[in-house]
Structure 1
């Protein structure tokens, strides 16, 4: 879900403050971010306020969005992103939302330990200082799930678990990367995960993302409505097929 839920929404940054449209789930997200910051995590944005249909947060300074791709081409970048995600997951476990909290994304039900998942873990939603990931923002898809839920989503983009053409033209690699080596580096740096079928976990997470995108589109939410109208579901299905047909490139 590259570019996040804000892809067609007005977002501005001025004097170190980002202003962006708020949604019904924004108060819950702000509560979660405040919880993480009380645990000493400065790698998530500091919420300022929700004023009507606008939210304000303190910007984490660094490269992000379209400026991010080169920072994670190196193994150091991949490992840094994985360590950042692990640190956030570990700190998230104790958060208990208020009973009236509203979330955009549904929980991913699984056995075992559950954490609070970001739901859109890609290089563009991280802040970078060189090859070091120092922040993770755009928490609209906050939800409960197993660690592998976020990890599998991240592997799609950090592998990347995508075609050679996308790796070169979309992710801007100078040559097609060794996807399996990058995935191993991410998993080693994250640490402590049980063995799992990497390709199938990525494919299932992609299907979950597609289902949520379709649900949001049918509810009239942008940018998902526009994405679906422009054929994102068909493109997503083709990418899921690529992952399953090329599992050897991801786990070799």
Structure 2
């Protein structure tokens, strides 16, 4: 559950001319040259420490953190490619679906032993690591990947990372790529040419990630839908944006309806 972020496209009328990648009054994102400027959150220092770790271990798919500019915005390297709404086409075919799953596994391997020292905390999470947990991306959907053809070459929007079991990221992604949506929405909005074989797609993604069984995975997706909905409502209650705007516009009510659909239609996933 996220606002749309667009990575591709021209960078303005000159090499350093600002251009909006996300023209959202609550969270404007601007490209200047080869950098992206984004507003800070209370927990941004934790995110920055994570990005510095990924750079140090040679993980090539995350933007590099370059510091804070004079306007108090974080400065990241720009990742060139397709993202946002254009990305949904990329995961309809198996090649993109599997590539997305493999990228998630690579990310998890890169952060398996990482523990941040920053006291800034996390978004709507107490920050406690249990055995077997790692720093989940927390928003690993097709729109937050940068694509070149059917290959993802970058991961965007790290604002909602949190400590959790790796399967949380797997389940979050599967809600959107299986997808846990009805046939009409899958075809009209997610670009599936025919109603998707949800069980096969779930198994394909799980296999690409490296899971040897999908037992319990459907329930994990439904539980993760509930958790994401809960976190968004908590952030809205704290007055955080864009979650407050989502609450006021009915987006969070829609998320609750989609959770109810998943519960009623879990038989479609085997």
TM class, shorter-length: over 0.9
User: What is the TM-score of this pair, normalised by structure 2?
Assistant: 0.86
Post-superposition shift, 1:194? 5.5
Post-superposition shift, 1:97? 0.9
Query: Partner residue of 2:154?
Result: 135
Post-superposition shift, 1:226? 1.2
1:83 aligned onto 2:83: no
The whole-number CA distance in structure 2 between the counterparts of 1:13 and 1:55 is 12
The runs of at least 4 aligned residues of structure 1 exceeding 6 Å deviation read: 108-111
Calculate the aligned-residue CA RMSD, in Å: 2.0
For the residue of structure 2 that corresponds to 1:68, the secondary structure is: helix
161, 164, 167: which one aligns with 1:148: 167
Query: Partner residue of 2:3?
Result: 3
37, 42, 52: which one aligns with 1:19: 37
List alignment gaps of at least 5 residues for structure 2: 6-21
For the residue of structure 1 that corresponds to 2:146, the secondary structure is: strand
1:212 aligned onto 2:219: no
Query: Partner residue of 1:29?
Result: 47
Query: Partner residue of 2:252?
Result: 233
For the residue of structure 2 that corresponds to 1:2, the secondary structure is: coil
Post-superposition shift, 1:199? 2.3
Query: Partner residue of 2:13?
Result: none
Tell me: higher relative CO, structure 1 or 2? Use CA pairs within 8 A at least 6 residues apart: 1
- The number of aligned residues is 251
- 2-11 or 190-199: bigger deviation: 2-11
User: What is the TM-score of this pair, normalised by structure 1?
Assistant: 0.92
Residues 37-66 of structure 1, C-alpha deviations (whole Å, 9 max, x = no match): 211111011111123631110012111112
The verdict on how the C-alpha distance between 1:193 and 1:141 changes in structure 2, with shifts beyond 3 A counting, is farther
Post-superposition shift, 1:4? 6.3
Query: Partner residue of 2:184?
Result: 165
Contact 2:82 2:146 (8 Å CA) reproduced: yes
The whole-number CA distance in structure 1 between the counterparts of 2:211 and 2:219 is 19
The whole-number CA distance in structure 2 between the counterparts of 1:38 and 1:23 is 23
The whole-number CA distance in structure 1 between the counterparts of 2:213 and 2:128 is 17
Contact 2:29 2:38 (8 Å CA) reproduced: yes
The whole-number CA distance in structure 2 between the counterparts of 1:108 and 1:203 is 22
Contact 1:114 1:147 (8 Å CA) reproduced: yes
Residues 95-123 of structure 1, C-alpha deviations (whole Å, 9 max, x = no match): 12115232114158786411110111100
The whole-number CA distance in structure 1 between the counterparts of 2:243 and 2:197 is 32
For the residue of structure 1 that corresponds to 2:81, the secondary structure is: coil
The whole-number CA distance in structure 2 between the counterparts of 1:108 and 1:74 is 36
List alignment gaps of at least 5 residues for structure 1: none
The whole-number CA distance in structure 2 between the counterparts of 1:125 and 1:179 is 22
- 237-246 or 76-85: bigger deviation: 237-246
